[in-house]
Amino acid sequence: MNKIPPRTMERLSMYRRILSELEQKGLHFIYSHQLAELASNTSAQVRRDLMEVNCAGIPRRGYRIPELKEKINEFLKDSEEIRVALVGIGNLGRALLSYFNMRSKRLKIVAAFDSDPEKTGRVISGCRTYHVNDLEDVVRRQKISIGIITVGAGSAQKVADMLVEAGICGVLNFAPVPLKMPKTIHNERIDITTSIEKVAYFSGLNKRVQ
């Protein structure tokens, strides 16, 4: 598969969400300079990106929003549904379950795992929960292709190894450690706590003197 550059992919993903919001507000058309304004981007960049996805504007009306969204979907070759597993049903895990399964039609967390028997064998935010010992079996049976890791630093690598073993294609890691994985598996990392600590530190808010 011929892959587009990550930055382009990120911009198109952003445009698509901005367009969905505008559509919900009842808008049908948008000019490139308006989309550029909303995306904090230049009109020239937006026009280049939209030319890339093969969408042309209409003189004096701009771009048709539903068409533009569809062209972006085509360009990104979005499949109908991507099945996701989440491992680690703590506060963050629960948060992501309710956040994702309420807003995304395409990306569905269909199974969540934990090692605590108190948290398994239940349904949380519409998602079945299982013991982590059943991970490989459930991931294969349910044709899950992406794993989200929300366990602590000490267990993250072990969980990543289990997901790889179960045949997962990509991982989004919220644990505060980088993971070792085969190069064929795409691996993104988000560290919310470090991000807020960085904001605090670089805003000059850390002032305790010993």
Q: Restricting to residues 70-89, name those near its own copies by CB under 8 A.
A: 73-74, 76-80, 82, 84
Q: CB 53: neighbour CB atoms within 10 A?
A: 18
List the interface residues with its own copies, window 164-193 (CB under 8 A): 169-172, 176-180, 185-188, 190-193
List the one residue from 94, 112, 129, 138 that touches its own copies (CB under 8 A): 94
List the one residue from 46, 65, 87, 96 that touches its own copies (CB under 8 A): 96
List the one residue from 31, 95, 124, 128 that touches its own copies (CB under 8 A): 95
Beta bridge partners of 123: 128
Question: Which structure tokens are listed for 54?
Answer: 């093969």
List the interface residues with its own copies, window 17-46 (CB under 8 A): 17-18, 21-22, 25, 38-41
Separation of alpha carbons 3 and 75, rounded Å: 10
Residue 59 or 123: the one with the smaller Cβ distance to its own copies is 123
Question: Which structure tokens are listed for 79?
Answer: 């499949």
3-state SS, residue 149: strand
Separation of alpha carbons 41 and 61, rounded Å: 20
Q: CB 168: neighbour CB atoms within 10 A?
A: 21
- Shortest Å, Cβ 73 to its own copies: 8
Q: Rule CB under 8 A: say whether 105 interacts with its own copies.
A: no
